[in-house]
């Protein structure tokens, strides 16, 4: 009797109510709806990215620059550094995409200064250029790789960046953390402008537009002159140099030096132009400016042929283990200083833009540790401050105390270097 209560008769019809029929068809229907909306969202994102890219290309078209042609291209093609339609490094650059992605997703929360952090920038000329430097050598660091170098009566401006972003457009890309410490009209008369390569944080389109009428030589690596001429710099003022080329500027000699880096202002012009550092050789002083570079054996040649240097201005910031050959990193920057036979060390290429995932103060913190351990004299001027190399100023610890990784925790080691 109990079995009859729980067991359906053998000839009972199969369930056929409305809820069962609905359940049988609802899952495929839901999947179709989800798939339809997924396609719409993906298509919308694709259209949005396409529109944004189109606007960026149109807005940044002039800033992209110009491809070299004619005699300029022929001279590039004759360079020992040129091969397979691009410039090449004797030691190729190593890249590891997975490590780059790891670092990107693990970026420091302090990669840029907090909004409420007021950096102690030295603003304005304040009459400091009215009197020549007593030592014959004075440098004003304007942030990143922009320096005003007064050397033995000649004034050289390096990689001038007065624009708001390192980007072809003014509304997207890494923004500067503080306004230019000096207005262009506050600079003393400049005798030469040098550019190390054509990346946006070194060759700044709005700045070139602002200074294109200066009656001075614009010295740049091979191919970069095409950008300058396109933006209005008279061709007779453009001096394009290969590695080891020498350019006299008054009593000063400016020598283009090898570096290990890359170039390009958009997807299709990678390594189309050359990159370089510079040695400024005066009657009484010598200064080395690295430009952007990874460590490479040829730095010893620079020291042997052009050193020793009273001052080196070497990049220390924007580095990662996934791209260890593009930039030096702090410890290798000091090693480069020794290789080129430098005396006083000025760390540059930091303190203005967020170009890497590390804490923004990490490069200078590691420089301090490494320089103290090696006994290398160094300076840490505030952005906009001027200093004379002799006697060197004391170390000014102007940046905030933030968490950072040591060399042991995050070493940067170049490839193909003993």
Rounded to an integer, what distance in angstroms lies between the CA atom of residue 379 and that of residue 337?
A: 13
Question: Is residue 34 scored above 80 in pLDDT?
Answer: no
Min mean pLDDT across 46-50, 239-243, 337-341 is at 46-50
What is the predicted pLDDT for the residue at 58?
59
Give mean pLDDT, residues 152-159.
98
What percent of the chain lies above the pLDDT cut of 90? 83
Predicted TM-score (pTM) of this structure? 0.87
Min mean pLDDT across 52-56, 145-149, 332-336, 377-381 is at 52-56
| 85-94 pLDDT tens trace | 999 999 999 9
Distance (Å) of CA 339 to CA 81, 184, 275, 301: 22, 34, 20, 8
Give mean pLDDT, residues 212-232.
98
Structure tokens belonging to residue 411: 């070493």
Q: pLDDT-based confidence at 13, cuts 50/70/90?
A: very low
Closest of 340, 320, 327 to residue 291, by C-alpha: 327
Q: Strands (DSSP E) along 283-365, which ranges? A: 286-289, 309-315, 342-348
Closest of 186, 183, 224 to residue 65, by C-alpha: 224
What percent of the chain lies above the pLDDT cut of 70? 89
Question: Is residue 48 scored above 90 in pLDDT?
Answer: no
| 95-111 pLDDT tens trace | 999 999 999 999 999 99
Q: What angle do CA 85, 298, 415 make, to 5 degrees?
A: 80
Beta bridge partners of 346: 313
- Residue 96: CB partners within 8 Å, gap ≥ 6? 321, 322, 323
Q: pLDDT-based confidence at 37, cuts 50/70/90?
A: confident
Question: Is residue 133 scored above 70 in pLDDT?
Answer: yes
Min mean pLDDT across 12-16, 188-192, 206-210, 327-331 is at 12-16
Q: pLDDT-based confidence at 4, cuts 50/70/90?
A: very low
Give mean pLDDT, residues 171-189.
96
Question: Is residue 222 scored above 60 in pLDDT?
Answer: yes
Give mean pLDDT, residues 51-69.
74
């Amino acid at each position: 009797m109990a079995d009859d209560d729980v067991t359906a008769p053998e000839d009972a019809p199969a369930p056929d109510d409305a809820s069962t029929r609905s359940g049988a068809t609802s899952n495929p229907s839901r999947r179709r709806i989800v798939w339809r909306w997924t396609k719409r969202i993906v298509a919308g994102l694709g259209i949005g990215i396409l529109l944004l890219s189109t606007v960026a290309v149109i807005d940044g078209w002039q800033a992209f620059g110009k491809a070299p042609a004619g005699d300029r291209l022929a001279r590039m093609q004759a360079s020992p550094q040129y091969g397979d339609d691009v410039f090449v490094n004797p030691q190729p650059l190593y890249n590891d995409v997975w490590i780059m992605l790891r670092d990107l997703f693990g970026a420091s929360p302090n990669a840029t200064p907090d909004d409420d952090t007021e950096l102690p920038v030295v603003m304005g000329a304040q009459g400091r250029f009215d009197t020549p430097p007593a030592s014959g050598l004075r440098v004003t660091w304007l942030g990143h790789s922009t320096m005003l170098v007064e050397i033995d009566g000649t004034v050289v401006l390096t990689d001038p960046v007065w624009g708001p972003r390192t980007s072809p457009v003014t509304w997207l890309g890494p923004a500067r953390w503080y306004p230019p410490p000096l207005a262009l009209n506050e600079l003393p008369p400049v005798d030469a402008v040098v550019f190390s390569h054509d990346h946006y944080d070194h060759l700044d389109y709005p700045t070139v537009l602002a200074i294109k009428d200066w009656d001075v030589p614009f010295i740049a690596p091979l191919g970069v002159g095409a950008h300058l001429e396109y933006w209005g710099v008279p061709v007779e003022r453009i001096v394009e140099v290969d590695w080891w080329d020498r350019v006299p500027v008054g009593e000063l000699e400016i020598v283009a030096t090898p570096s290990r880096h890359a170039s390009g202002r958009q997807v299709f012009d990678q390594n189309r132009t050359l990159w370089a550092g510079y040695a400024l050789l005066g009657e009484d002083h010598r200064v080395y400016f690295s430009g952007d570079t990874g460590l490479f054996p040829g730095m010893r040649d620079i020291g042997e042929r052009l050193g020793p240097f009273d001052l080196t201005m070497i990049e220390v910031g924007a580095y990662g283990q996934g791209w260890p050959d593009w930039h030096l990193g702090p410890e290798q920057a000091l090693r480069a200083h020794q290789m080129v036979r430098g005396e006083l060390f000025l760390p540059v290429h930091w303190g203005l833009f967020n170009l890497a995932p590390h804490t923004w103060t990490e490069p200078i913190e590691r420089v301090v540790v490494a320089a103290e351990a090696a006994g290398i004299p160094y300076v840490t001027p505030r952005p906009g401050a001027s200093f004379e190399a002799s006697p060197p100023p004391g170390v000014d610890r102007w940046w905030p105390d933030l968490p950072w990784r040591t060399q042991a925790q995050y070493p940067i080691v170049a490839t193909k270097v003993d």
